[in-house]
Amino acid sequence: MNNIIFCFDIKYEKYLKNILLTFKKYHNFDMYKFHFILTCNEDEYNILLKTINHTIITIDKKINYNCYLFKPPIELVESISRYNKLLFDDDKNEETIFINYANWSRFYITDLIPNIKIGLYLDMDILFLGNIDEIFKLSFSNYPLCVFNKIDKSIYFLTYREYSKNNVDNITNFKEFHEINPNKSKKHYERFINRINENKIIFDELNININDLKNNNAYNCGVLLFNFKMIEQMKIREKILKLINLMCDKNNSLFRTGTEKTMNILIPNNKTISDKYNFIKKKKEKIDYDKIKIIHFKGKKILETNKLYLDITNKINE
């Protein structure tokens, strides 16, 4: 049985129907089990259970699924609260996507599903454009993760204000950034290396080899194939809390974001597979639908108004 895992709260339940409809077009449900990890209070949980059950029944009664209630542990709540204050000081102390506990619940999957060994984690802003059975035949026993979309690493250590100042918000590829601003890209790459060297003490405390950070590309975390046995052996949850609290104690944010860059720092070694399983469209880029298996609408805040998303879902719903 192939395991697929979604972690979400009540705001994202509305996307589940389209995800499952596109999945149904290319797959046999008998081969898969879906795990829905829900971050909410008890009342919301009961509402979500009813709506998820209704969605499942309307699509295919054969869908095998379980729901799990995630209650953020107090140590996570306290650490994320500290982290949020570090990122947004007195002039902008607000709740952000970085404090969304549904995002952090992916690190507690084995607490909720103790016997799971291999599982495909997916963000809720994806749709299926092809069959993904081959993913579960991959051999990666020596890696904690299989990733499907590499990102050049040096931009990862830019702060929020530097992103805005240098207008690189929508650039995920350092080569693209270099072509637009060759002088700035060189400067940022040097800064990336210097930043790692300057914070070696933090990485040493986390038992992270800084050469791994320098030499391995970063990766997008919207589609991840987990080797949960190795993730448990690495004690990732403990390291996450330690990393966040070290940054807060030293008043030094190594990055300005949430779970993605946290994972990139703590799990730099992974097996990289074709991005056809995590296709993130760039502006004006043409789509070869025959080659893409999963399309990821990363950064698109309102999917209901995204033309590409609507085109795909409308065809499925016809």
Residues 246-268: pLDDT tens digits?
Answer: 988 888 777 666 788 889 889 98
Query: What gap in Å lies between CA 276 and CA 290, rounded to an integer?
Result: 10
pLDDT reported for residue 52: 96
What pLDDT digit, counting tens, does each position of 19-46 carry?
A: 999 999 999 999 999 999 999 999 999 9
CA dihedral 11, 24, 289, 278 (to 10 degrees): 50
**pLDDT 10s digits, 117-130:** 999 999 999 999 99
Cβ atoms within 10 Å, residue 265: 24
Please, which pLDDT band fits residue 86 given cuts at 50, 70 and 90?
A: confident
Residue written as tokens 């298996």? 293
Secondary structure letter of residue 279 according to DSSP: B
Specify the amino acid at residue 119: G
Beta carbons within 8 Å of 240's beta carbon, 6+ residues apart: 104, 107, 262, 266
Residue 186 has pLDDT above 70, yes or no: no
Domains and CATH numbers, the chain: 2-150+219-317 (3.90.550.10), 153-216 (no CATH)
Q: What gap in Å lies between CA 270 and CA 272, rounded to an integer?
A: 6
pLDDT at 209: 86
More confident residue, 177 or 16: 16
Whether the predicted pLDDT of 221 surpasses 60: yes
Give the least confident one: 10-24, 147-161, 182-196, 244-258.
Answer: 147-161
Place of tokens 């699509």: 59
| pLDDT of the residue at 161 | 46
Tell which residue, 106, 113, 17, has the closest CA to residue 63: 17
